[in-house]
Amino acid sequence: MKTLVVDDFATMRKIVKNVLRQIDITNVTEAENGRQALDILKKDGDFELIVSDWIMPEMTGIEFLKACKDDDSVKKIPFVMVTAEAQKDSVIEAIKGGVDNYIVKPFTPDKLQEAIQKAVARSRSQQ
Amino acid sequence: MDAGFVNAYLAAAQNVFKTMVQLDVVMGKPVLKKDKHTSGEVTGVIGFAGDKKGTFSLSFSKKGAIFIYKKMVDEDAPGVTSDVVDAIGELTNIISGQTRVHIEKLGYKLSAALPTVVVGQNVEINFITKVPVISLPFAFQAGSGPEHLFLDFSFE
């Protein structure tokens, strides 16, 4: 499954990649913020999963989510938000933005795997 | 200062270290700092705004920071590399997020800035506030022996 991992912290990208590897997702491209991720998607929209942080410089995760969901060529890619933003307003904003699943840091590998699998299943059932 | 703030940091720190670092951290006696300098050698700093304004820092010795990095990503670091600095910044960010959830339950909405990390001893931090800085020391086992980390914060 071709996956785009977006986080301004290299540590978190490594942790997410380690978790993805445990569920046999090894085809991973990394981006440091939403702007860079959008550029990658414009060149290659053939991704099957996006895992993104929220708070990032240049373009935040919520801005990136909304840009993805406004773009017909990428809006069907399952989008999982992995974020330290756990306040109610943030969760509601992400749901309104069309996020397919939302997981709050800190998380265990099991929780992230479950969130990703649910997002992918949900997205497939809607197609 | 609402005592709930101390409890918020305690709960957030214990949860984050247990979940992301597989580490039990034990809080010692909180102290009021007499200065506004970093408590350790590798320090993540993040500012808050909203119903309260303030600053929070997460500080380790160099050895402690390297140990935490290895626990987080299962990779060795030869020193305080950019990867180690990145990991401490992310931990600061995660604890900040968890703490804000607890503080929201106390009736205060806060938003946070992006964290920064400073490396060095006795670096002066602008805590923004005029009230004293509270320092929460935590002990943890770092392989060969005990280590400490410090959660320092000030809100008004």
- pLDDT band (50, 70, 90) for residue A27: very high
Spatial distance between the Cα atoms of A118 and B53, rounded to a whole number of angstroms: 38
Which residues of A are less than 8 Å from B20 in CB distance? Answer: 15, 105-107
Query: In the CATH scheme, what architecture does the domain A3-114 have?
Result: 3-Layer(aba) Sandwich (3.40)
Spatial distance between the Cα atoms of B109 and B130, rounded to a whole number of angstroms: 20
Residue B127 is predicted with a pLDDT of 76
Over residues B68-121, the pLDDT tens digits come to 999 999 999 999 999 999 999 999 999 999 999 999 899 999 988 889 999 999
Q: Using CB atoms, which residue from B18, B90, B104 is nearest to A9?
A: B90
B51 touches chain A (CB under 8 A): no
Query: In the CATH scheme, what architecture does the domain B3-155 have?
Result: 3-Layer(aba) Sandwich (3.40)
Mean pLDDT (chain B) is 92
The answer to whether A11 contacts B98, with C-beta atoms less than 8 Å apart, is no
**Cβ pair A116, A101 in contact under 8 A:** yes
Residue B1 is predicted with a pLDDT of 58
A18 touches chain B (CB under 8 A): yes
Task: List Cα–Cα distances, A62 to A67, A93, A96, B79, B150, in angstroms.
Answer: 9, 8, 10, 35, 32
Which residues of B are less than 8 Å from A85 in CB distance? Answer: 97
Q: Which H or E run contains B136? A: strand B134-142
Q: Using CB atoms, which residue from B97, B104, B109 is nearest to A84?
A: B97
Q: Where are the domains of chain A?
A: 3-114
Residue A91 is predicted with a pLDDT of 84
CA distance A77 to chain B (A): 26
B93 touches chain A (CB under 8 A): yes
Helix then strand then coil, in percent of chain A rounded to 5, is: 45, 15, 35
- pLDDT band (50, 70, 90) for residue A8: very high
Spatial distance between the Cα atoms of A7 and A82, rounded to a whole number of angstroms: 9
Extended beta strands in B62-133, E state: 110-112, 116-119
CA distance A22 to chain B (A): 14
DSSP reduced 3-state for B78: coil
For residue A48, the one-letter residue type is E
Over residues B44-63, the pLDDT tens digits come to 999 999 999 999 999 999 99
A10 touches chain B (CB under 8 A): yes
- pLDDT band (50, 70, 90) for residue A85: confident
Mutate to test the interface with A, among B73, B98, B103 (most CBs of A within 10 A): B73
The complex scores an ipTM of: 0.81
Residue B144 is predicted with a pLDDT of 80
CA distance B6 to chain A (A): 19
